[in-house]
């Protein structure tokens, strides 16, 4: 049981992060393009579909190197998710055409959904050795994370922090979850050297995101200025 606690924490955090990214994406879309109900509905639909694809694709594909793959996915999620709002602003800055902009943003929703879908089979794989009920437990904790994310987004992150800082913090959580796996979870077939490299990257990302977070007011202002003076 004790061995599993880090994995539970990781499961909770990554589920929290994924839904948080999606809510941030849905809200940013509705802020830029209007019609909240449409944006939210489509975001949920695409997210669920992408997660399904991710889960289908992941099963049997890279479950052999579960720990290494998981760390890679967390790295990708940190990059895509943590900087999602920044990416958004630059997209709307460079791409005037709404159609193209909205295409790219929806693709981003799918990318984050697919990456999230990879997570669950990998977590189940990592837990299997120590627990027979791995599947159900991972799912349970995963859903709990998503539930908490929805409340935190609506009542805390969006109104109190704003979208930019919310994405940075979520990115930091995500990176830390990846690092927790590196330090606390035992792996079988994975390459130590590759994982160490990923961990270095991940650590660097935490520092960058932390720096961004501390300067989020300035970044926020710069982004909005560039958006306004287009």
Partner 1 sequence: MSKKLLLIYFVTFVVAACSILYELLLANSISLIAGSTVVWYSVTIGVYLGAMGVGAFYKDKIFADTELSQKLFNIEVILSILGGMVAALVSLSYSLSVYFISLYWGQMAIAFFFFMGITLVFAVGFLSGIELPLLMEIGNDLNKGKRRISNRILGADYFGSLAGAVLFPIVLVPNLSSYQIGFIVALANVVMALVVLLSLARKKNNTSSRKIIGLIVLFVLVFGLFRSWQIEQFFAKKYYYYLDAGESFGAIFSKMKDYPDIERIRSPYQQIDIMEPVEFGPSDFLVGSYFNYESNNDIIDERMVFLNGDWQFATYVERVYHEYFAHVPMGVSENVPKKVLVLGGGDGMLIRELLKYSEIGEIVHVELDGKMIELAKQHPILSTANKNSLHNEKVDTIVDDAFRYVKRTEREFDAIYIDFPVPADYNISKVYSREFYFFVEDCLADDGFLVMYAPGVGSFSDFNEEGKVIPNEELSPWFQYYHTLKSAGFQTIVPYLSLLEVDNPNAWEVAGELVDIQEAEVNKGKPIEEINGLTEEERWGRIEKMVRAHVLSLAESFIIARKDEVHVFGVHEHDVETIIGPKRIHLAFDVPFTKDEEVNWRYVNSIMKPTLPHFSVWRIRFPYKIN
> How many angstroms separate the CA atoms of 117 and 49, rounded?
9
Cα distances (Å, whole numbers) of residue 91 to 79, 106, 144: 16, 12, 33
CB of 144 to partner 1, least distance (A): 6
CB nearer partner 1, residue 159 or residue 193: 159
CB of 164 to partner 1, least distance (A): 6
Q: How far is CA 146 from the centre of its chain?
A: 11
Find the part of the chain contacting partner 1 (CB under 8 A) among 1-9, 147-155, 168-176, 187-195: 147-155
CB nearer partner 1, residue 42 or residue 76: 42
CB of 211 to partner 1, least distance (A): 19
> How many angstroms separate the CA atoms of 125 and 31, rounded?
39
Q: Note whether 115 and 77 are within 8 A (CB).
A: yes
Handedness of CA 61, 143, 111, 202 (dihedral sign): negative
The SS3 assignment for 191 reads coil
CB nearer partner 1, residue 204 or residue 217: 217
Q: Which of 4, 6, 9, 44 binds partner 1 (CB under 8 A)?
A: 44
Q: Which of 4, 6, 9, 59 binds partner 1 (CB under 8 A)?
A: 59
217 touching partner 1, by CB under 8 A: yes
Question: 193-212: which residues touch partner 1 (CB under 8 A)?
Answer: none
100 touching partner 1, by CB under 8 A: no
CB of 168 to partner 1, least distance (A): 12
CB nearer partner 1, residue 88 or residue 182: 88
Q: Which of 1, 99, 159, 189 binds partner 1 (CB under 8 A)?
A: 159
Q: Note whether 167 and 21 are within 8 A (CB).
A: yes
Question: 123-142: which residues touch partner 1 (CB under 8 A)?
Answer: 136, 139-140, 142
Burial of 227 (0-12, 13-18, 19+ CB in 10 A): middle
> How many angstroms separate the CA atoms of 38 and 134, rounded?
36
| Alpha helices in 129-215, H assignment, sequence order | 134-152, 163-184, 192-214
Give phi and psi for 215, each to the nearest 5.
Answer: -105, 25
Q: Which of 5, 56, 156, 207 binds partner 1 (CB under 8 A)?
A: 56
Residues contributing to the site for partner 1 (CB under 8 A): 19, 23, 26-27, 30-32, 34-38, 40-42, 44-46, 48-49, 51-53, 55-56, 59, 85, 136, 139-140, 142-144, 146-151, 153-155, 158-159, 161-164, 217, 220, 223-224, 227-228
């Amino acid at each position: 049981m004790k061995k599993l606690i880090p994995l539970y924490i990781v499961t909770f955090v990554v589920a929290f992060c994924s839904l948080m990214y999606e809510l941030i994406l849905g809200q940013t879309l509705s802020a830029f393009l209007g019609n909240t109900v449409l944006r939210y509905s489509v975001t949920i639909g695409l997210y669920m579909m992408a997660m399904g694809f991710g889960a289908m694709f992941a099963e049997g594909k890279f479950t052999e190197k579960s720990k290494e793959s998981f760390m890679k996915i967390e790295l990708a999620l940190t990059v895509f998710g943590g900087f999602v709002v920044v990416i958004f602003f630059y997209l709307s800055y460079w791409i005037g055409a709404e159609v193209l902009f909205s295409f790219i943003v929806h693709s981003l929703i799918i990318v984050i959904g697919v990456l999230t879908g990879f997570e669950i089979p990998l977590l189940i794989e990592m837990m299997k050795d120590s627990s027979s009920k791995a599947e159900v437990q991972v799912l349970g904790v995963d859903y709990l994370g998503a539930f908490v994310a929805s409340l935190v987004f609506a009542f805390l992150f969006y109104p109190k922090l704003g979208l930019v800082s919310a994405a940075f913090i979520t990115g930091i959580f995500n990176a830390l979850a990846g690092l927790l796996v590196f330090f606390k979870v035992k792996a079988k077939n994975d390459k130590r050297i590759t994982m160490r490299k990923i961990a270095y990257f991940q650590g660097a990302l935490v520092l960058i995101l932390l720096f961004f977070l501390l300067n989020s007011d300035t970044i926020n202002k710069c982004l909005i200025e560039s958006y306004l003076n287009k």
